[in-house]
Each structure stands twice: as C-alpha cells, then as structure tokens.
Amino acid sequence: MMHPWVGVILVGAVALLFSASGLDYAVQRVWRFQRRRLGWNVGWPQLFERFQRKPHFQASLIEIRDFIVNLQLATSMDQTLSVALLQTAEQLADQGIFGKRLKQHVESKLVASPEEVIKGLATDFESDQLNNVLRSLEAARDGRKSNVEVLSLSVDAIEKDIRTDIEREIQQAPNQLGIGMMVGVFGPALFLSATPLVIALLDQLGSVRFGS
C-alpha cells in the first residue's frame, strides 16, 4: 500500500518539473490553438473582434527618446513641428515598426495637426512618455514655452526613465540568476529523486490491475 505522502511528493515533483521545463506554456499554446480551431471562442463575426481589439505595438524607450531628440533638433533650427515630423519620419522610416507607424501617421494625420501624429503614436504604443509630450506641446500653445523647450524637457524625462529601468534591471539580475541556478541545479536532482517513486507507483498500479 502506497503511503499518502509519497503521492503528495510525486505530484509536487511533477508540477515543479512541468513548470520549470516550460511545458505549461506549450500546453497553453496548444489549448488556444484548439479553441480557435474548434470555434469555441468565435461566436461573433471577425469584424466585431477587430473593432473590439486594437493592434498594440512595442517600442523601447530609446526609440521614443531618439524620436523626440530628432524633433528637438529640427525645431531648434527654426523648423515648425510639422516640418520636424516630416523630416523625422523620413529618417526613421526604415528603422523598425516605430518608424513605419510614424511615417503612416505623418502621411494620414499631419494634415489635421502635428499633435494628431504624436497622439496616434501614443495610442499605437500605449506610451506614457508620448502622452506626456503631447500634453506639454498642447500646453505650449499658450506661448509660455517654445516647442524646443518642451521637447528638451521631454528628452530629459525619458532619459531619466531609461536610467530607472537600467537600475531596476541591475537590481533584479541577482534574483533572476539565482532562480535560474536553482532550477538548473535542483531540477535534475529532483527529477532523479522522483524517478524511483514514479517506477514504484507504476509497479503498484500494474500489480493492482493484473491482480484484479
């Protein structure tokens, strides 16, 4: 008769190995694929889902900072914000998804206003930094600050955010390294220690099956 604690240890070992090996992620992907294939989550036309979910893109703070720096340099040479956006869009057009989205927004929204271009980028990338730039530019219309000053302050704020992220990653690095070492060192040992329990369980199940 197998002791209850053996079953508890076996279940815990299997769960830990399952999570450490990344199989849980693979199972989730298979489940999502099967759910889509069988139509379990498709009860409405695809157009409804398209309106429900807007595309979301990723951009690093460095890309956003470089975009604002280009605007700052152009406006510092007495260029309007619209001209600065045109020039920046040409410079960044081939530099990743951010450059592509920038060019598309310039082509479609610059006629309305330069702020609409930045607003479109802020929405695409869900960027707090771009939203802050947009609010600052709109406030600058009162004449209290020039676009150059606003963009310069925005660059400083974004660079501060970049430094904060770097410091956070440095602080988290030892913890992430420790977790990786624990999985690498104790994972195989736990697997080896659980193997006899699995074999014993299979033997007991086999004997019960054939005995009955």
Per-residue pLDDT reduced to its tens digit, 67-94: 999 999 999 998 999 999 999 999 999 8
Residues 45 and 113 in one domain: no
Q: Cα–Cα distance between 118 and 184 in angstroms, integer?
A: 46
Angle at 195 between CA 192 and CA 200, to 5 degrees: 150
Residues 32 and 92 in one domain: no
Percent pLDDT > 90 in the chain is 43
- pTM, two decimals, is 0.58
Angle at 70 between CA 63 and CA 149, to 5 degrees: 110
Q: Is the pLDDT of residue 62 over 60?
A: yes
Q: Cα–Cα distance between 91 and 67 in angstroms, integer?
A: 10
Question: To the nearest whole number, what is the mean pLDDT of the chain?
Answer: 76
Residues 49 and 65 in one domain: no
Flag whether 74 is in a domain. yes
Mean pLDDT, residues 176-189: 61
pLDDT band at 157 (very low <50, low <70, confident <90, very high): very high
Q: State how many domains the chain has.
A: 2
* Range of the structural domain that residue 49 is part of: 23-53
| pLDDT of amino acid 6 | 45
